[in-house]
Amino acid sequence: MENGNIAIYQSPDGQTIDVVLENDTIWLTQAQIIELFGSSKANISEHIKNIFIFNELEKNLTVRKIRTVRQEGKRKVVREIEHYNLDMIISIGYRVNSKRGTQFRIWANKILKDYLIEGYALNEKRLKEKTQQLDALKQTVRLLSNMLESNPLSSDEASGLIKVLADYTYALDVLDKYDHRTLTIEATHKKPSFVATYEEAMKAIRSLKEKFGGSSLFGNEKDESFKSSIATIYQSFGGVDLYPSVEEKAANLLYFVVKNHSFSDGNKRIAAFLFVWFLEKNGLLYRNDGTKRLADNALVALTLMIAESKPDEKDIMAQVVINLINGYN
């Protein structure tokens, strides 16, 4: 029987214990463990102590304080009490070697299985509902946008609202694809009007330092990795570019300069600057109406996100950048 995140365990001999279900495991207080195994406080405390001494379990993973509410007379008292998870309960159970311990483990594993299956089913239902809502929103905005094109509204405010909704729908779509790892490279420009060279890039970096100042170490190369970054975005195999579009080259240039730490100081600033410089030289920094394809705060967020990302996330990081500067923007 379940009541919120509480399950009630009843042993074959009639013993009843309220068990906390949280973070996909079962939690009991020391007093409950003593009651469960029919043991003493000294005995259970000694077992717990030895489990940690011999590094059988990690304390921060198996012990946590859980807020409990108890009725004491006419008032409710809230306390934080240490609880131990199923791993600890099982380890203690093997040491006391009691029949009750075996019975509890069988029950606990069944309850956990049911709990996880039910939770998975609930999450699947919520995800399906969320996806349906997102699809409905996107479809609604598309219809509104089409209506705006065929029959413009007289109100500038209404027109602006629909435009904002349409823009955010694309952003939601990108986030949804990111979550499901289904981002693809679309609406990119295949023919660059500018080819970046190591010499031109270094000249641009020196101009950045002169314009905004910086330490004597700003833009100082530590090794040959920056030269390699420039060469890599133009790398080809069998006559086919590894990064065939301008957007792919720009995204990977941003990634390589951030991650390679080629300079003694200013790596993230240099990476963001070269990204903007590369797009501007190729005529892709601005939309036809003169606005930037990528807002300044979005560029900062992307640069920091790349800096904190794991090496195996390189492709997805590049795809996110590409989707924010492609022809759909």
pLDDT in tens, 188-225: 888 888 999 999 999 999 988 887 776 788 889 999 99
* Residue 3 confidence (pLDDT) above 50: no
Average pLDDT over residues 121-133: 59
By percentage, how much of the chain surpasses pLDDT 70?
Answer: 65
Question: Is the pTM here over 0.75, yes or no?
Answer: no
Overall residue count recorded for the chain in this entry: 329
Mean pLDDT of 165-191: 71
Specify whether the CB–CB gap between 258 and 271 falls below 8 A: yes
Q: Are 222 and 261 in contact (CB under 8 A)?
A: yes
pLDDT in tens, 274-288: 999 999 999 999 888
| Average pLDDT of span 99-115 | 61
Confidence bin at 165 (pLDDT 50/70/90): low
User: Cα–Cα distance between 260 and 249 in angstroms, integer?
Assistant: 16
Q: What is the mean pLDDT of residues 76-87?
A: 82
pLDDT at 141: 56
The sign of the CA dihedral 81, 85, 86, 87 is negative
d(CA 277, CA 274): 5
Q: 277 or 100, which is more confident?
A: 277
Residue 127 has pLDDT above 90, yes or no: no
**pLDDT for res 312:** 86
